[in-house]
Amino acid sequence: MRISLRLRAALCALFLLFLCVSAAFPADVRGEALAAGGSKEAVMEVSTGRVMHEVRSRERAYPASTTKILTALVVLETLPLELEVTVPREAAGVEGSSVYLREGETLTVEELLYALMLRSGNDAAVALALAAGGSIPAFAAMMNRRAAACGATDSRFLNPHGLHDDGHYTTAYDLALITAEAYRNRDFRRIVSTRSVTVGEGESRRYLANKNKLLGTFEGANGVKTGFTTKSGRCLVGGAYRDGMQLVSVVLDRYDMWEGTKAALEKAFRDYEMRDVLSLPLAGAGERAAEVRLDERGDPVPARYPVKKRGEDIGVRFVK
């Protein structure tokens, strides 16, 4: 009887401790932490590559269909938009998300890019990869070379669509670098910011509505791509432009990816502003600095830098 009373007292004490710890964190904070789970995240300003938010951004993760950002970039740099592509047998009936391409039908590279980025067509990914690389392994090699050129050194891509493969991975930071590079391509920006489009003619005519719910619901949203497999979890790369600042946000394996992305982007826009680097003081040794170089005309590159509005002293350092 005495042991039972002691056990009950201990359990009551543990319960009260739990209530006290739980009450110390507001419900919305507890909910956000639960939703975020083991997510990997990064928010980056495109022109400078400055990271404004990151959570486990260098941990490897499966990118699912956000892979198609790199696929689109490689295709845009390899094939003309007006080139007509005849859908090969290998592209018809690819598993997962699809625009139901039929073997032998013909669409342009641009139309297939819309199918790739708006509707996440795995069949479109294969058709484009074969047109650009001749084979999936050859195109994957092109992807990996382009990723490395972006500075994405902890990524490995084995296919153009992101269907699961244990050897196909990236990080939130690497994917932000890749997306920032893609945003420098005008056609990429135009395609991923399109809300809906009709492509093809006759039996190949298709109406494509963008799956990206940021468009039209978040101020300044202008891209980019969703993704999901059972191994990757819910993934979202979002882009938004406000007041001269283009941001990309990467969220990998987060249940509330829409809410998490909006919150991270909103905070970055609230906390940072773009400033002319020539208006910044010269940084002293060891001080935080915006590193810029001067081009052949003597103009700074980058010309503007995202500076935190409150509490951050930052100068400029010119590098060769």
- Are 129 and 97 in contact by the 8 Å Cβ rule? The answer is no
146 near 77, Cβ under 8 Å?
yes
Q: Using one digit for the tens of pLDDT, what is the confidence trace for 29-69?
A: 333 443 445 899 999 999 999 999 999 999 999 999 999 99
pLDDT at 12: 57
Percent of the chain with pLDDT over 90: 81
Calpha distance 71→170 (Å, rounded):
14
Residue range 69-76: mean pLDDT, rounded: 98
* Residues taking part in catalysis: 65, 68, 120
Q: pLDDT tens-digit profile of 146-196?
A: 999 999 999 999 999 999 999 999 999 999 999 999 999 999 999 999 999
Return the pLDDT at 9: 58
Render pLDDT for 248-270 as a digit per residue (tens, 0 to 9): 999 999 999 999 999 999 999 99
- State pLDDT tens for residues 202-211: 888 999 999 9
CATH of 37-271, one of 3.20.20.20, 3.20.20.60, 3.40.710.10, 3.40.50.300: 3.40.710.10
Give the integer Cα–Cα distance in Å for 58 and 48: 19
User: Under a CB-based contact definition with an 8 Å cutoff, are residues 100 and 112 in contact?
Assistant: no
- Domain definitions of the chain by residue range: 37-271
**pLDDT tier at 313, thresholds 50, 70, 90:** confident
Considering the chain, what is the average pLDDT of its residues?
Answer: 90
Identity of the residue numbered 273: E
Q: Token digits for 73?
A: 């970039």
